[in-house]
Amino acid sequence: MSTEPTASPTGDRTLVYLPGLAGDPGSSPALAALEAEGWTVVRPLLPGFDGEAGFDCPDDYLGWLTALWDAVDATGVGPCPVVGASVGGMLAADLAVFRPELVTRLALLAPFGIFDPDHPGLDPYSVPTAKRLEPLFAEAVPEAFHHRFAAKGESEAPVARYLTDIAAASLIWPVGDQGLEGRLHRIRCPRLVLWGTDDQIIPAPTAASWGDHRLVDGAGHLLEWDRPDAVAALLLPFLSS
Amino acid sequence: MRVLWFHLMPYPDLPDDFRDKHRSVWVDLDSGLLDPEVVAASYDAYLDQLVFAEECGFDGLCVNEHHSNGYGLMPSPNLMASILANRTSRAAVVVLGNSVALYNPPTRVAEEMAMLDLLSKGRLVAGFPVGTAMDTAYAYGTNPGTLRAKYYEGIDLVLQAWTTPEPFAFNGRFTKQRWVNIWPRPMQQPHPPVWIPGGGSVETWDLCAERDFVYAALSYYGHLVGKESMDGFWATVEKAGKDDNPYRAGFLQFVGVADSDAEAYRLYREPAEYFFQRSLHFFPGFVDPPGYSSEASYRRKLTSSVRSAAMTTQARGGPTWDEMLERGYVIIGSPSTVRETLADVAKTLHVGHLMTLLHFGNMDDELARRNTELFGQKVLPELRQVWSGYTDHWWPANVD
CB contact (8 A) between residue B144 and residue A169: yes
Q: What is the mean pLDDT of residues B47-56?
A: 98
Residue A141 falls within a domain, yes or no?
A: yes
* Chosen from B295, B304, B311 to mutate, greatest number of chain A CBs within 10 A: B295
Nearest to B234 by CA among B328, B349, B341: B349
| Predicted pLDDT at A3 | 41
| Predicted pLDDT at A5 | 45
| Predicted pLDDT at B310 | 65
Q: Supply the CATH number for residue A203's domain.
A: 3.40.50.1820
For B285, the closest of A55, A60, A128 (CB atoms) is A128
Nearest C-alpha in B relative to A53: B295
CB contact (8 A) between residue B144 and residue A170: yes
| Predicted pLDDT at B258 | 98
How many CA atoms are closer than 13 Å to the CA of B59, on its beta-carbon side? 21
CB contact (8 A) between residue B298 and residue A159: yes
Q: What is the mean pLDDT of residues B47-74?
A: 98
Residues of B in contact with A60 (CB under 8 A): 146
Task: For residue range B169-185, list pLDDT tens digits in order.
Answer: 999 999 999 999 999 99
| Predicted pLDDT at A132 | 95
How far A237 CA lies from chain B's nearest CA (Å)?
Answer: 38
CB contact (8 A) between residue A155 and residue B143: no
Q: What is the mean pLDDT of chain A?
A: 94
Q: Which helix (H) or strand (E) holds A19?
A: none
Contact B185, B279 (CB under 8 A): no
Q: Does residue A11 register a pLDDT over 60?
A: no
Residue A3 falls within a domain, yes or no?
A: no
Chain A residues with a Cβ under 8 Å from any Cβ in chain B: 53-55, 57, 59-60, 125-129, 155, 158-159, 162-163, 165-170, 173-175
Q: What is the mean pLDDT of residues A202-231?
A: 97
Q: How many distinct structural domains can be found in chain A?
A: 1
Torsion angle in degrees (nearest 10) through CA of B381, B385, B388, B391 = -30
Strand partners, B195: B127, B214
Q: What is the mean pLDDT of residues B47-58?
A: 98
Q: What is the mean pLDDT of residues B196-213?
A: 93
* Chosen from A56, A131, A162 to mutate, greatest number of chain B CBs within 10 A: A162
> Which class is B2-383 in CATH?
alpha beta
Positions of E strands within chain A: 14-18, 40-42, 80-85, 103-109, 191-196, 214-216
User: For residue A215, is it left (φ>0), alpha (ψ between -120 and 50) or beta?
Assistant: beta
CB contact (8 A) between residue B290 and residue A57: no
With cut-offs at 50, 70 and 90, classify the pLDDT of residue B384. very high
d(CA A37, CA A29): 13
Q: What percent of chain B has pLDDT over 70?
A: 97
Task: For residue range A127-172, list pLDDT tens digits in order.
Answer: 999 999 999 999 999 999 999 999 999 889 999 999 999 999 999 9
d(CA A16, CA B159): 47
For B289, the closest of A54, A125, A163 (CB atoms) is A125
* Cα angle for residues B297, B298, B303 (degrees, 5° grid): 95
CA A117 to centroid of chain Cα atoms: 22
Nearest C-alpha in B relative to A164: B290
Q: Which domain holds residue A57?
A: 14-240
Nearest to B379 by CA among B348, B352, B361, B354: B354
- Of A80-94, B89-103, B311-325, least confident by mean pLDDT is B311-325
Task: For residue range B297-347, list pLDDT tens digits in order.
Answer: 888 888 775 556 666 676 677 899 999 999 999 999 999 999 999 999 999
Residue A8 falls within a domain, yes or no?
A: no
Please give the single-letter amino acid code of residue B322: D
Q: Does residue B361 register a pLDDT over 50?
A: yes
CB contact (8 A) between residue B302 and residue A55: no
- Which residues neighbour B162 within 8 Å (Cβ) at sequence distance 6 or greater? B110, B114, B182, B185, B186, B190, B191
How far B292 CA lies from chain A's nearest CA (Å)?
Answer: 9
Q: Is B15 exposed, middle or buried (0-12, 13-18, 19+ CB in 10 A)?
A: exposed
Q: Does residue A7 register a pLDDT over 80?
A: no
How far A121 CA lies from chain B's nearest CA (Å)?
Answer: 15
Nearest to B250 by CA among B125, B156, B373: B125
Give the other-Cβ count within 10 Å of B301's Cβ. 17
Nearest C-alpha in A relative to B299: A159
CB contact (8 A) between residue B295 and residue A125: no
With cut-offs at 50, 70 and 90, classify the pLDDT of residue B152. very high
Nearest C-alpha in A relative to B175: A59
Residues of B in contact with A155 (CB under 8 A): 302
CB contact (8 A) between residue A127 and residue B145: no
- φ, ψ for residue B47, nearest 5 deg: -65, -40
CB contact (8 A) between residue B288 and residue A169: no
Q: Does residue B78 register a pLDDT over 80?
A: yes
Q: What is the mean pLDDT of chain B?
A: 95
Residue A6 falls within a domain, yes or no?
A: no
How far B355 CA lies from chain A's nearest CA (Å)?
Answer: 31
Q: Is B239 exposed, middle or buried (0-12, 13-18, 19+ CB in 10 A)?
A: exposed
Angle between the N-to-C axes of helices B202-211 and B295-303, in degrees from 0 to 180, rounded to the nearest 10 = 120
Residue A5 falls within a domain, yes or no?
A: no
* Cα angle for residues A63, A65, A70 (degrees, 5° grid): 95
| Predicted pLDDT at A31 | 97
Residues of A in contact with B311 (CB under 8 A): none
How far B112 CA lies from chain A's nearest CA (Å)?
Answer: 27
Q: Which helix (H) or strand (E) holds B170?
A: strand B168-171
CB contact (8 A) between residue B284 and residue A128: yes
Residues of B in contact with A170 (CB under 8 A): 143-146, 290-291
Nearest C-alpha in A relative to B288: A129
| Predicted pLDDT at A92 | 98
With cut-offs at 50, 70 and 90, classify the pLDDT of residue B221. confident
Nearest C-alpha in B relative to A174: B141
Nearest C-alpha in B relative to A160: B295
Distance in angstroms between the alpha carbons of the first and the last residue of chain A? 27
Q: What is the mean pLDDT of residues B127-151?
A: 97
Q: What is the mean pLDDT of residues B253-258?
A: 97
Q: What is the mean pLDDT of residues B213-235?
A: 90
Contact B127, B396 (CB under 8 A): no
Nearest C-alpha in B relative to A166: B290
How far A157 CA lies from chain B's nearest CA (Å)?
Answer: 11
| Predicted pLDDT at B119 | 98
Nearest C-alpha in B relative to A21: B290
Residue A93 falls within a domain, yes or no?
A: yes
Q: Does residue A41 register a pLDDT over 70?
A: yes
CB contact (8 A) between residue B146 and residue A170: yes
ipTM tops the 0.95 cut: no
